[in-house]
Chain A
């Protein structure tokens, strides 16, 4: 999980164009310890990528790749 100080969007800095719901390691970075989606004011992602990642996390949850809660 990116810290509060890193205000730059992770996906812009890493140049990731397509966020895949199968890449669970990447999604885990944007989940809290209770598997809730990290809000934008903590992670610093831009609104476009936040929406993409939230949909990806939801898809992964439905397909049993990530759990809903701890």
Chain B
């Protein structure tokens, strides 16, 4: 049989109550199993004791470890078998990985997650601020504004009515007096002023 060497990733969950020295020994055993079969460990990530998502083998916690290594394809099965038979190993998972794969450690992921959390929090805060700004001033300032606006509106109506009447009158005058260009200009100015002044008040 021709043998090929490929990249693999191994994740092991060990029993949590063994103590530091024993876990280190167990990890050494796993490493020796790989290296004795002609493998080469090039990356390692020890997560430590974490809480499991559900109970496995009457355990709530587990010691996680991730190893990246190269091994003969024919010897992977032996490794898996020996790990399953080991009573100190809760679970194990060996995955074939592409050659360009690089291990992304848990700390990197946690940093990324923290960043994402911060961004989402900032967004939420910004949205909340917007809502508060929309809500509070509307309730507080509306009432006084309305009174002012009412007064202003009355004024505006009066102001608007007057120029309209004048405007109505003016064209009639224009037909009568076409020769007085200066008076026309003055009328236009008045119109413009009234028009300019109105929207300012409404706004």
Contact = CB atoms under 8 A, between A and B. Distances in A.
Interface of A: 18, 20, 22-23, 25, 59, 61-68
Interface string B89-132: 00101010010010010100100110010000000000000000
Interface of B: 11, 13, 52-54, 56, 62, 66, 91, 93, 95, 98, 101, 104, 106, 109, 112-113, 116
**Majority SS at the chain A contact face:** loop
22 contacts: A18-B98, A20-B104, A22-B66, A22-B104, A23-B104, A23-B109, A25-B109, A25-B112, A59-B93, A62-B93, A63-B11, A63-B13, A63-B91, A63-B93, A64-B13, A64-B53, A64-B54, A64-B56, A64-B62, A64-B91, A66-B53, A68-B54
B101 A18 contact: yes
Contacts, number: 34
A68 B54 CA distance: 8
Which of A20, A59, A68 has the most CB atoms of chain B within a 10 A radius of its CB? A20
B102 to A, nearest CB: 10
B181 to A, nearest CB: 63
A1 B59 CA distance: 31
**Majority SS at the chain B contact face:** strand
Contacts of B106: 22
B53 A65 contact: yes
A33 to B, nearest CB: 16
Contacts of B62: 64
A62 B52 CA distance: 11
